[in-house]
Structure 1
Amino acid sequence: MSSSPETTGSVSALVGALARGDASIIELTAPLSSDTPVLDLPSDMAPIPRFRLEELAKYDERGRTSYQNGIHTGEHVGTHFDAPRHWVTGADLEDVASVPPSRLVAPAVVIDKTRVAAADLDYVLRRDDVGEWQREHGALPRGWLLFRTGWAARSHDQELFLNAGGDGPHTPGVDPDCARWLAQETPIFGFGVETVGTDAGQAFRFDPEFPVHSYLLGAGKYGITQLQNLHLLPPTGALLIVAPQRIVGGSGSPARVLALVENGAK
């Protein structure tokens, strides 16, 4: 299939910018290991298995020339992708293997609420917050909305990251009205966060419960979690690359997430 001159020129310009050092590739993925924080689910739900490597061979009698491991993990561990089928509202929609590549490489914008989330660990994003951002930066894209709260700084420690007490976890998220609006009335493909999941820690008390999962996945949109380095991205102008494994029937997958940004853009 031949490319149009416009497409070829755009791709060449991007390649040239990277080669000249005018653009950078930003790593947004948390390292995945047995120490990666995992969401604690209620006792009436099956627990999420932690990530684990099983050594199969390491230049020894099991394989003299090779080093190999088996991988054991839940789909929703570490920096990971939520497909619509992950939630009951999207049960008849895409599994992770069916997501079009055009949704995985797309523009991204960042809403930064680090300061307010530091003062209120249960802070939830509201439609007015997004409206204020749009008045300054323009409309939301056909792409990804990334929500920066500063929570990535906690990701080295399970207890600090989950921040759970006797009344459940306390982490920032999105209120139900904003989640419904993002799902049904905006062109975004998906929503990305620094926290262990796309919903607030106290979202089990919301109506509906876990509204980001319920509304966005039910609308055929996507989630990505446990992002890092969002402070290196400008409010607009980044190109996001989300690379989950193409798991047939999968509800999600650990993912490598990268952003391309123009140097000096903040």
Structure 2
Amino acid sequence: AVDTIPVQHFVAPACVIDCSVHAAADPDYLLTVADIEAFEATHGRIPPGAWLLMRTDWSQRKDPVAYQNFDATGQHTPGPSTEAVQFLVEQRKVLGFGSEAIGTDAGQGYHLRPPYPCHYYMHGAGRYGLQCLANLDQLPPTGALLICPPLKIEKGSGSPLRVLALVPGR
């Protein structure tokens, strides 16, 4: 429950993987293990207890219809692949996953196995999810510190947040 989250989990480093070019070309883009490994080859290994944030520039869609991006087949928004979520939880031991889209899973995440893998693996492992993030384009790939305190809702399964990022030198 939100009211029992350890306070030390409210502040953690952030790693930001830029998937904006992929998401612009394919709104159903899925973050892959290869994307994560390519990020690490350039920026170093994602530290345990860090946030992994998927930058897609989705937050720049100011029109609510474009932001939700529904059609006859459902919602079309980027998110992580099943394998990427498992990798982040099991191999990198991240604190959580953050997305600019309306959810932590891809809009078409119900087609994946298991459906909605971020909810299944990340949240199932007691990790956290941030959604509807903005300004990820203003964060460096590494070095930012996120401050994410939830409202202390007794027995709450979630909470609105105002996520803040501290960037050295700014």
The two structures share one fold, judged by TM-score above 0.5: yes
Matched, 1:185 2:122: no
Tell me, yes or no, if structure 1 residue 153 matches structure 2 residue 57. no
Structure 2 Cα separation of the partners of residues 263 and 195 of structure 1: 28
Residues 60-75 of structure 1 correspond to what in structure 2 (within 5 A)?
Answer: none
- 2:5 aligns with 99
Q: Would you say how many aligned residue pairs link Structure 1 and Structure 2? A: 169
**Offset, 1:116:** 1.2
Unpaired stretches in structure 2, ≥5 consecutive residues: none
**The structure with more radius of gyration:** 1
**2:72 aligned residue:** 166
In structure 2, the residue matched to 1:252 is 158
How far residue 143 of structure 1 moved from its aligned partner, in angstroms, is 1.6
Structure with greater proportional strand content:
1
Say which SS state the counterpart of residue 253 (structure 1) adopts: coil
Inter-partner Cα distance in structure 2 for 1:139 and 1:98: 29
Residue 182 of structure 1 deviates from its aligned partner by 1.2
Give the corresponding residue for 2:127: 221
Q: Name the TM-score, length of structure 1 as normaliser.
A: 0.62
| 1:103–1:143 CA contact under 8 A, matched in 2 | no
Post-superposition CA distance 1:110-138 (Å, at most 9, x none): 00010111011110000011001001101
Task: Say if 1:184 and 1:219, in contact at 8 Å, map to a contact too.
Answer: no
Structure 1 unaligned segments of length 5 or more: list them: 1-94
- CA–CA distance in structure 2, aligned partners of residues 97 and 157 of structure 1: 34
Which of 207, 229, 235 in structure 1 is aligned with 2:113? 207
Partner AA of 2:104 in structure 1 = T
* Displacement after TM superposition at 1:105 (Å): 0.4
| Paired residues for 1:1-266 under 5 Å | 95-141=1-47, 142-154=49-61, 156-263=62-169
**What is the percent sequence identity of the aligned residues?**
47
Q: Distance in 2 between matches of 1:196 and 1:261?
A: 25
What CA distance in whole angstroms lies between the structure 2 residues aligned with 1:175 and 1:235?
20
Q: What's the TM-score, normalizing by structure 2?
A: 0.96
